[in-house]
Amino acid sequence: AEHQHARYNPLRDDWVLVSAHRVKRPWQGQLEKPPPEDVPRWDPNNPLCPGATRANGEVNPQYEGTFVFPNDFPALQPDAPEPGNSDHPLFRAAAARGVCKVMCFHPWSDLTLPLMSLAEIRAVIDAWAELAAELGASYAWVQIFENKGAMMGCSNPHPHCQASLWATLQQQTQGEDVNGNPPALCAFFLSAREDPLERLVVENADWLVVVPYWATWPYQTLLLPRRHICRLQDLRDSERDSLASIMQRLLIKYDNLFEISFPYSMGWHGAPTGPYLKEDCGHWQLHAHYYPPLLRSATVRKFMVGYEMLAQAQRDLTPEQAAERLRSLPEVHYKQRSK
């Protein structure tokens, strides 16, 4: 807790430098602007609002729950041309084809997931699973992710996420090693489930949230099911309800940490789909990552620069310290305490 040391990440086969004493250094660097508190509930100029006109001229329906539509500015398109061949081993290119979807969580722009009801969060989870199943029938990888807050590159103040689908995939096929040990992800899953006390944040009957031993971002967390599950669409009805609950509890703690709408990037990792649906993917374990950038306050973030970009990842407090702070926070949202 007081001296620097390195920790190994078996999922990525790399190391993170833990330098907890650095959080004590005085800060005279950049201060971020806290997110606005006066976001209008409905804005005709907001392209994600019900009834608004998007950049391509399409008008959104008057949706009342979740709403999924093709991304108007996709990173992947299904009909992209081949990049051409190269005989030079250092200048290779390959085709990248897919589709990108946007999913609005709620018709109101002034709501985020921790302020939504459990039923509304459950509807988001169902929509995630439907997207994963529908698009995973054709594509090898379905990446569902959410960027929350302008600090994380979110270009629109409306509760939403994205799903990108790749037609090609570099599969992680790490089977058991020569000693019969389980693959890295399943091994970590088992250890986190059995002994999470120092790094546990919240838990319930079906899920637990821990700060990984090898976490890179200051308040990074890992969301894990208690049983072995390969994909989102494999979740039981009861597990979807309990997932809504534990997500709400975690995100309320995030917001309560600095009493702001806490920025983060999150995403789900599950077994590959498409042609891999018929293969044995038992070495995969469904899980979600949360990567929040804030370190000291609502205005001071962790910057991944210099040493982190050129040498290795480095964090400024131990995962155990981060977990203890998150764990001790109340589970009533700071905006709702007076009520």
- Please state the length of the chain: 339
Q: Is residue 88 part of a domain?
A: no
Q: Is residue 7 part of a domain?
A: no
Q: Is residue 266 part of a domain?
A: yes
Active site residues: 160
Q: What share of the chain is helix, strand, coil (3-state, %, to 5)?
A: 25, 20, 55
CA-wise closest residue to 135 among 91, 158, 101, 182: 101
224 touches 207 (CB < 8 A): yes
Sequence ranges of the binding site: 22-25, 55, 71-72, 147, 153-155, 162, 176, 269, 287, 289, 302-303, 307-308, 314
Q: Which residues contact 286 (CB under 8 A, 6 or more apart)?
A: 225, 229, 230, 231, 232, 234, 268, 269, 270, 271
121 touches 113 (CB < 8 A): yes
Domain boundaries, position 63: 46-82+93-169+177-331
Q: Given a cut of 50, is residue 180 above it in pLDDT? A: no
- Helix and strand totals (H; E) in the chain: 5, 12
Sequence ranges of the binding site for Fe cation: 176, 269, 287, 289
326 touches 251 (CB < 8 A): no
Strand partners, 289: 222, 267
Mean pLDDT of the chain: 87
* Sheet containing 313-315, strands listed edge to edge, beginning at the edge strand earlier in sequence: 5-9, 14-18, 313-315
Q: Is residue 321 part of a domain?
A: yes
Q: Is residue 41 part of a domain?
A: no
Sequence ranges of the binding site for UDP-alpha-D-glucose: 22-25, 55, 71-72, 147, 153-155, 162, 302-303, 307-308, 314
Q: Is residue 29 part of a domain?
A: no
Q: Given a cut of 50, is residue 175 above it in pLDDT? A: no
pLDDT in tens, 257-312: 999 999 999 999 999 999 999 999 988 999 999 999 999 888 888 888 888 899 99
- Count of structural domains within the chain: 1
Q: Is residue 264 part of a domain?
A: yes
pLDDT in tens, 42-79: 999 999 999 999 989 999 999 999 999 999 988 888 88
In order, the DSSP letters of 31-68 are: -PPPPPS---S--TT-TTSTT-B-TTSPBPP--SS-EE
What CATH number has the domain bearing residue 149?
A: 3.30.428.10
